[in-house]
Amino acid sequence: MKIGVPIEIKNNENRVGMTPSGVFELTKRNHTVYVQKNAGFNSGFLDEDYIEAGATILDTIEDVYATAEMIVKVKEPIAEEYGLIKEHHTVFTYFHFASSEPLTNAMIDSKAVCIAYETVEAEDGSLPLLIPMSEVAGRMSIQQGAKYLEKPIKGRGILLGGVPGVPPAKVLVLGAGIVGYQAAKMASGLGAQVTIMDINMKALRYVSDSMPNNVISEFSSEYNIRKHIKDADLIIGGVLIKGAKAPKLITRDMLKEMKPGAVMVDVAVDQGGCFETTKPTTHQDPTYVIDEVVHYSVANMPGAVPYTSTMALTNVTLPYVIKLANDGWKKACENNKALQKGLNIVNGKIVYKEIAEAFDLEFEKA
């Protein structure tokens, strides 16, 4: 198979869909890999590394799409790429269709096969290709939240861990999945007072058993959320419904109950966000303020730490890329139930129910 790895052209997206190690594994299986010039540079990989591993370097993104049968990316295609994706393509990347109707319609029109990292689902219900980026984003959410609590950038002027004689910040984490757990882990390590909320008692029991004493678990309800936002300094939104839009747990009217200078970090922004006032931002312009509350909602947070993120992501995506290359998408998905659940749009038809429901479009079983 001919596999293409383009440069990510989303704002400040520095990750790359494949490392030289991945190229080596594919070329030794007699596949051909085309990598766009400098695609790996911001993740620490030179063109020479790719060439040594067996890749062919192409100058432009147009060349990569025109030459390849399968495209391996990191982030969803943006408008400039829509016209490059054709019927013969299999595109393997994060799509997050439920948060973007224009992207959904563009991929339907392209008639390409769209396989989404975020809906590849293991037998136990886990999302193996989402976990590593959720781990990165969860940990980063606390780094970013701590920074934006500083006064020069309109925060409350609070040090997350406090100092002797001065109490630490109060951190509220919504969701006890991968993002929430990692956020609570980082916040507690810095000495903050952490409350983590979820409706999954199994997850809350795990938090309670494994976290230090400065982390308190509490069942999530609108009443409890309204109670905690009043004195929270930093709120992390880490709620996920597989393939669907995130629920709005903090509404616009709730902001007036919060402290001036409090910070909200919405890690669920890729799926529409779990705060009503969330709108996607970029690393270049990451925050905005509504009702004196600082909002941070960068849609590709892990892109700021591309070496760590690329390595973590490609460690888990490569086995699936090899399956797709060896067998073709149809046979690979027939033989691998996890990969089959990654099918979102196939030849102009939506085959993932939650995407169809998000936009009231027709659903057809794969």
Name the CA radius of gyration of the chain, rounded.
21
The token pair that represents 106 in the structure block = 């563009």
Task: Tell whether residue 259 is among the known ligand binding residues.
Answer: no
Pick the catalytic residue from 89, 233, 266, 270.
270
Q: Is 75 annotated for ligand binding?
A: yes
267 is in an annotated binding site: yes
Taking CA atoms, 260 is separated from 175, 207, 277, 319, in Å, by: 24, 29, 16, 47
Element (H, E) at 61: helix 61-67
Taking the C-alpha atoms of residue 359 and residue 354, their distance in angstroms, rounded to an integer, is: 9
Residue 269 annotated as part of some ligand binding site? yes
Here the tokens at position 185 are 């882990």
Is 298 annotated to bind a ligand? Reply is yes
Looking at residue 5, its amino acid is V
Residue 220 annotated as part of some ligand binding site: yes
Q: Is 134 annotated as a binding residue?
A: yes
For residue 96, indicate whether it is catalytic. yes
Indicate the burial class of 173 (C-beta count within 10 angstroms; 0-12, 13-18, 19 or more).
Answer: buried
Backbone angles phi, psi at 73, to 5 degrees: -125, -170
Asked if residue 299 belongs to a known ligand binding site, the reply is yes
Query: Pick the catalytic residue: 31, 89, 96, 295?
Result: 96
Residue 163, annotated as binding a ligand: no
d(CA 267, CA 149): 17
CA distance 345 to 351: 6
* Residue 122 in marked binding region: no
Residue identified by tokens 């020069």 is 152
Q: Please confirm, yes or no, whether 270 is among the known catalytic residues.
A: yes
198 is in an annotated binding site: yes
Residue 252 annotated as part of some ligand binding site: no
Helices marked H in 174-221: 178-189, 201-210
Nearest CA to 185 out of 201, 197, 169, 196 is that of 196
Is 270 annotated as belonging to a binding site?
yes
Catalytically active residues, by annotation: 96, 270
Summarize the annotated binding site for substrate as residue ranges.
15, 75
Summarize the annotated binding site as residue ranges.
15, 75, 134, 198, 220, 239-240, 267-270, 298-301
Summarize the annotated binding site for NAD(+) as residue ranges.
134, 198, 220, 239-240, 267-270, 298-301
